Structure 1
Amino acid sequence: MAVCCDLEVDVNGQETFMVDKKIITSYSCRLSKLFGKSVGIEKNLKVIFHDFPGGAEGFELVLRFCYNGRIDITPSNISLLHSAAQFMEMNKSASEKHNLLEQTEKSLEEIKYWTWQELLIALKQCQDFLLIANSAGVLGRCLDSLAGRLALTSESSPCASTSSPDSSSVRFSSDSRSTESLKNSFTRSTWWFEDLLLLSPKLVEMVTKSMVSRNIDHAIISKFLLFYHKSKSSAATADEKCKIVETIIDMLYTLDQSSVSCKSLFGFLRVSLSFNLSKSSRSKLESMIGYQMDQATLDNLLVPSPHGTNYLYDVNLVLRFLKAFIQRGGFQVSLMPMQKVASLMDLYMAEVAPDPCLKPSKFLALAKALPDSARESQDKMYHAIDLFFEVLH
């Protein structure tokens, strides 16, 4: 069959293709509608695509299908082909027998038979053109399949459920074989951590939401998020680090608050001091810390004041922690956590009292932040107040 090149196609400004208009329009409703039912030879026809999925590579795959009537669809190209087929409207309306969209749809139905590595390859390709892959539905299917497999792994390999990545709620047996069994079980639940390091923060956010919807243990999810942050931040730029931190904070906020340790949260706080975090992410981090205020230490709270202020420590930050703590559980905090926080605040007030730049209103706010019932004795608080007045005089 003679092939002419009567149509010029500019793909995303990357490359220009000379193609046979009749052949390519016979498979694409988008182009057939563009050219209408015009007949005869029209010279100097040109089409410009600005957002073709996968750019020149994607268009070349489409051409291969159009000229051959078929193409091998694999996990490594299905995301690109499916998105391109939707973009070009290569459906039954264009070709009853050979339409790329239907072929990719049938291939996607086989996703449950893909290997783990094939699934990761498909996800990586979705990541390269995220918005289009998401709207085409390929990404959603890949994420659902991945989360489903992780859920099965979690169910078939029950591990010691931890209340936080740093502490275990399980009492380990003195039997070394039992301890080793628990370690191996936990490892079987975390084997996938390194594999998902290839994902961008946006994909990690979507994967996390899929895992939550599958009821995967929140302690495992939080452990993965902390692992991702530690692994990806070392080689990232400042902007990339900020994006990673924001993503991890936002995702941790969606989990059970007991699934991440207070120590880890304060670690994020220290890291975030050098970044311009979004107001939303910073507020979520402060809220999570406030929720676990009874587990904090004095050193945790001694955060330097923001740049441009005179006082030594960031008292406003601690006041926000206290507000979040009081509000947890709808203003019904049990007595023991309340007493722990009261003791901590007595120590904190004594530490900040000697600061000559600390305003009386701020010190008073610290003293009045907790109800009187939180303290069995007011002696330590009065001692801190005495220290503060000594500085004033």
Structure 2
Amino acid sequence: MKFMKLGSRPDTFYTNEAVRSVSSEVTSDLIVQVKGSRYLLHKFPLLSKCLRLQRICSESPETLQHQIVQLPDFPGGTEAFELCAKFCYGITITFSAYNIVAARCAAEYLQMTEDVEKGNLVYKLEVFFNSCILHGWRDSIVTLHTTKAFPLWSEDLRITSRCIEAIASKASTHPFKVSLSHSHSRRVRDDVSCNGVEGQRQRPAAKGWWAEDIAELGIDLYWRTMIAIKSDGKIPSNLIGEALQIYASRCLPNISRRIKANIEPAGSNSDSDSASEVTSKSRLLLESIVSLLPSEKGAVSCSFLLKLLKAANILNVSSSSKMELARRVALQVEEARVGDLLIPSLSSSSNTLYDVDIVLIILEQFMLQGQSPPTSPPRSKLGTERRRRSRSAENIDFKLQESRRSSSASHSSKLKVAKIVDGYLRQIAKDINLPLSKFIAVAETIPDFSRLDHDELYRAIDIYLKGINSEVGKKKNNDTRNKICRVLALHMDEILC
């Protein structure tokens, strides 16, 4: 962590009867009120460096003893004002990533610029910020984190944007070329001291070393930082995906438990408002994560996508975010586990245990990806013709072979998905409230040729039939049983072969 010290005089500020003052042989002639606190100070050191105070004092009538200046909207409050005041008195002060934003905003408010005095506070803070803060990894992150207390000031002074640019630039850099000032840096240095420099050079650097650190940011700043990192184009999509998983695991833990607690009757209106606020923040966070997902297939795991989809259902996020997640899951649904697809249904219009509709959308999207296998090219009748084939014709054949492989992989995916679907049917068949139409719709999403056998499907139907014969299911008539038999008939030809 970088520091900057200014001034040489000892700190002589003290408090007397709720009034802050400075020890001096000269009688004070200026009272400054900052957000409820009162300072008894001197005009000369402050007005010589603060153009704003000059103007306020020149516009207000002078009194015999003290001139009063009120600064109710002072950025950074009393701590930031005291830093500026101590700078004016030449008292030793220390700046770091933790207080530079507040000090910079306060100095800008007081107009402590070069127009008033050379080497004024704004100039010194800008030099420290550009030459030290932005060069350090941890310093940049801490500074960016503190900008959330001064959003408008930080934007106007380009503190936020400069920090984000610095972080994005360093994220694509080898960690040994970055001034980390963090636990990661200490780990790396310890490795070097134990194993030697040569041994460290032989080991590849941790490619996603930056993800844990930026996960400390709030969602607004995190989103902007990730957009900058993605725009840089130097970070592979899988590392972007890993970073998003780290952030989601930190910021969206135990969603089901938290929302369940929120759904229960609240003890008071304040509890209800608090629960609603937590849900709204989590919803915004989840939608932001979805918008950051890399477009490349496999950048994040199917399991992670389905966890996001479950959370999206619980948080009732926008339909566009849900559909985007469903589309991405469809691209790699063959990697899913049955348990991942058991997404709780929280719809007030349905009393089923699981959200079957969203799974149907996933499966329909998956089937739309299938391509008809390419036709084989006509074989040459004469060997001489084969020998005289041009290089372009050979390239065409190569592309056709590659296309066949792609089609074969697609069929392999269908076989895997068919097993997942039948396993899913066994689970949802236990739900006595599941409409027959949805049970059949799920069963029919996968074509017959994708099932090597139908044992799992028969077990699922058997479970559903037992549900019909239960006490709750007795209310259903024989038409239901006949419709289920139709599903069996769809596969009868396969059984007889």
Flag whether TM exceeds 0.5 (same fold).
yes
CA deviation after TM superposition for structure 1 residue 91, in Å: 3.0
Q: Given the alignment, which residue of 127, 142, 147 partners 1:126?
A: 147
CA deviation after TM superposition for structure 1 residue 213, in Å: 2.4
Aligned equivalent of 1:99: 120
Structure 2 counterparts to residues 179-258 of structure 1, below 5 A: 184-185=203-204, 188-196=206-214, 198-214=216-232, 215-230=234-249, 238=258, 239=278, 242=282, 246=286, 249-250=289-290, 252-254=292-294, 256-258=296-298
Aligned equivalent of 1:80: 102
Q: Given the alignment, which residue of 23, 26, 32 partners 1:8?
A: 32
Q: Secondary structure at the match of 1:60?
A: helix
Aligned equivalent of 2:477: none
Cα distance in 1 for partners of 2:343, 2:253 equals 23
Structure 2 counterparts to residues 305-384 of structure 1, below 5 A: 305-306=345-346, 309-322=350-363, 325=366, 335-336=410-411, 337=413, 340-341=416-417, 344-349=420-425, 351-353=427-429, 355-363=431-439, 365-366=441-442, 375=449, 380=454
Task: Give the letter aligned to residue 357 of structure 1.
Answer: N
Tell me which structure has the larger Cα radius of gyration. 2
- Identity percentage over the alignment? 24
Between stretches 192-201 and 306-315, larger displacement belongs to 192-201
Change (3 A) 1:197 1:357: closer
Change (3 A) 1:379 1:227: closer
The answer to whether the 8 A contact 1:242-1:277 is kept is no
Structure 2 counterparts to residues 105-184 of structure 1, below 5 A: 105-111=126-132, 114-153=135-174, 184=203
Cα distance in 1 for partners of 2:201, 2:127 equals 41
Cα distance in 1 for partners of 2:43, 2:303 equals 63
Aligned equivalent of 2:90: 68
Q: Secondary structure at the match of 2:207?
A: helix
Q: Given the alignment, which residue of 337, 354, 360 partners 1:297?
A: 337
How many residue pairs align between the two structures?
Answer: 361
The answer to whether the 8 A contact 2:57-2:67 is kept is no
Change (3 A) 1:382 1:121: closer
Cα distance in 1 for partners of 2:137, 2:176 equals 17
Task: Give the letter aligned to residue 45 of structure 1.
Answer: I
Change (3 A) 1:378 1:87: farther
1:341-370: CA deviations, max 9, x gaps? 455435434553564422344345545657
For the pair 1:259 / 2:277, whether they are aligned, the reply is no
Change (3 A) 1:339 1:24: farther
Q: Secondary structure at the match of 1:53?
A: coil
Cα distance in 2 for partners of 1:45, 1:155 equals 54
For the pair 1:58 / 2:80, whether they are aligned, the reply is yes
Change (3 A) 1:377 1:281: closer
Q: Secondary structure at the match of 2:354?
A: coil
Change (3 A) 1:312 1:278: closer
Change (3 A) 1:132 1:342: farther
Task: Give the letter aligned to residue 363 of structure 2.
Answer: L
Q: Secondary structure at the match of 2:34?
A: strand
The answer to whether the 8 A contact 2:97-2:142 is kept is yes
CA deviation after TM superposition for structure 1 residue 324, in Å: 5.0
Task: Give the letter aligned to residue 318 of structure 1.
Answer: V
Change (3 A) 1:110 1:329: farther
Cα distance in 2 for partners of 1:375, 1:183 equals 51
Cα distance in 2 for partners of 1:278, 1:201 equals 16
Task: Give the letter aligned to residue 174 of structure 2.
Answer: T
Cα distance in 2 for partners of 1:220, 1:132 equals 33
Q: Secondary structure at the match of 1:139?
A: helix
CA deviation after TM superposition for structure 1 residue 209, in Å: 2.3
Aligned equivalent of 1:278: 317
Change (3 A) 1:197 1:252: closer
Q: Secondary structure at the match of 1:208?
A: helix
1:271-320: CA deviations, max 9, x gaps? 566x5353365555444323322322322222333265422321122133
Change (3 A) 1:349 1:73: closer
The answer to whether the 8 A contact 1:229-1:244 is kept is no
Cα distance in 1 for partners of 2:31, 2:217 equals 38
Gaps of 5+ in 1: 158-179
Cα distance in 2 for partners of 1:278, 1:319 equals 19
Between stretches 105-114 and 57-66, larger displacement belongs to 105-114
Change (3 A) 1:181 1:282: farther
Task: Give the letter aligned to residue 218 of structure 1.
Answer: S
CA deviation after TM superposition for structure 1 residue 76, in Å: 4.3
Cα distance in 2 for partners of 1:103, 1:216 equals 35
Task: Give the letter aligned to residue 84 of structure 2.
Answer: V
TM score, norm. by length of structure 2: 0.57
TM score, norm. by length of structure 1: 0.70
Between stretches 227-236 and 197-206, larger displacement belongs to 227-236
Cα distance in 2 for partners of 1:260, 1:319 equals 22
CA deviation after TM superposition for structure 1 residue 69, in Å: 9.6
The answer to whether the 8 A contact 1:6-1:20 is kept is yes
